[in-house]
Amino acid sequence: MKLWQKEKAALAEVEKFTVGNDRDLDIHLAPFDVLGSLAHIKMLESVGLLTKAELELLVSALKEIYQQIQREDFKLNDGVEDIHSQVEWMLTEKLGDAGKKIHSARSRNDQVLVDLKLFLRSEIEKTVINTKALFDLLIAQSEKYKADLLPGYTHLQLAMPSSFGLWFGAYAESLVDDLTTLEAAYRVVNKNPLGSAAGYGSSFPINRQMTTDLLGFDELNYNVVYAQMGRGKTERIVASALANIAATLSKLSMDACLYLNQNFSFISFPDELTTGSSIMPHKKNPDVFELIRSHCNRIQALPNEIMMMTTNLPSGYHRDLQLIKEHIIPAFQNVNDCLQMAGLMLSNIDIKKDLLQDEKYTFLFSVEEVNKLVLEGMPFRDAYKKVGVAVEAGNFTHSASPTHIHEGSIGNLCNDKIETTMNNIINKYNFSKVKIALQQLLS
């Protein structure tokens, strides 16, 4: 029988169906459930709902459970429904009635809300760290290969000269925007729902600002009804930000698959980073990039999955919300694996030099020749026509040294500006505030 049940237990089939995969997923929430409980009991003692002696016993026991979780020596007992029940059961087994008091002035509804917010906050930090690592690599590669030209395409047709410096730098700047949207999601996450109870508050004289400060949240979800309404919405906002990172990685991976193709042959990788064929001995397949592309395309579907699970739900808690964990929790592992594997591949990339010396890329320079005529005083439309006639007549000539100097072009990548923007975004997260608060809570 569950801690919260009265006399009759649910039918076994009903219990199995309603619990679902929660027990497995809740392992990911375990450390955060303990942190939320530590803050909650300190608040309970401050308003007279626990004695100081009870608080000391509970704090000591919760810290022991936290260390057990950190050692990966923790599991949910058979018959225990979720992480909340497991922690309370362990406290009650050890401390008796004091353990039973831990649930005063809260519901499993706001308990799982705070667990999820603490989990999301932690996972966002990991994602920012891994994204920044890939960003730094892209900037370094952009600088290293800035003089190496690359064909640029529109409609997958030869268009204008580009460079590997531009290519690497483009994806670096894309990650800046991705972390901008993730920072907005982080601000939504970093609000404290604890104290909203089942979604309608509590008659106990609780101090919600105290738990907000103890857990390092920036502020409260003030309205207790909205705190519950925020479940599903918060995950959807985070998923949308993760989808942006995934979109960048997916596009980068598609480029890499094309550029490795023998018909392009712009890049190559060491044999140990590609895979072979069971029957074709010459093959060097870009399996890593293909899997990154597929993982990331799936992540891009995540916001819609969450939206469909929560569409048309009225205010208040509904069991539908439980299923969101099955989608959002694994997504972080997937996106971080993809970030790290993209970094592994790009740190070992080999680019082909002097690509544009091949005569098949001659017409890439048609715009350069038009612009030269314009600089000499010819109207653009006349210059365009003159070069077009030369192309059609087969007597087009050009210089293979484009001189682009404006901001963000081949000759002026502005990587220093892009780096500054990225650093400014990362500073907005203020992860140090959270670290200090949690260290104090566990000290």
Residues annotated as catalytic (active site), given as ranges: 155, 277
Any idea which residue has 């929560």 for tokens?
310
Question: How far is it, in rounded angstroms, from Cα 16 to Cα 21?
Answer: 9
CA 356 → CA 35, 263, 365, 400, distances in Å? 58, 14, 10, 8
Strand partners, 157: 154
**CB neighbourhood size of 413 (10 A):** 23
Give the residue carrying structure tokens 């799982």.
Answer: 112
The SS3 of residue 339 is: helix
Rounded distance, CA 97 to CA 246, Å? 48
Give the separation between CA 428 and CA 212, rounded to whole angstroms: 19
CA atoms of 419 and 134, how far apart (whole Å): 12
Q: What residues does 162 pair with on adjacent strands?
A: 150
Question: Rounded to whole angstroms, how far apart are CA atoms 182 and 338?
Answer: 17
Strand, coil or helix: 6:
coil
What is the distance between the alpha carbons of residues 227 and 322, in angstroms, rounded to a whole number? 16
Nearest-10 Cα torsion for 264, 265, 267, 272: 120
* Contact criterion met (CB below 8 Å) for 328 and 302: yes
Structure tokens at 170: 């483009």
Contact 425, 180 (CB under 8 A): yes
CA 30 from chain centre, in angstroms, equals 20
- CA distance readout (Å), 104 to 208, 328, 342, 419, 420: 14, 29, 47, 49, 48
Alpha-carbon distance of 126 to 185, in angstroms, equals 14
Rg of the Cα atoms in the chain: 28
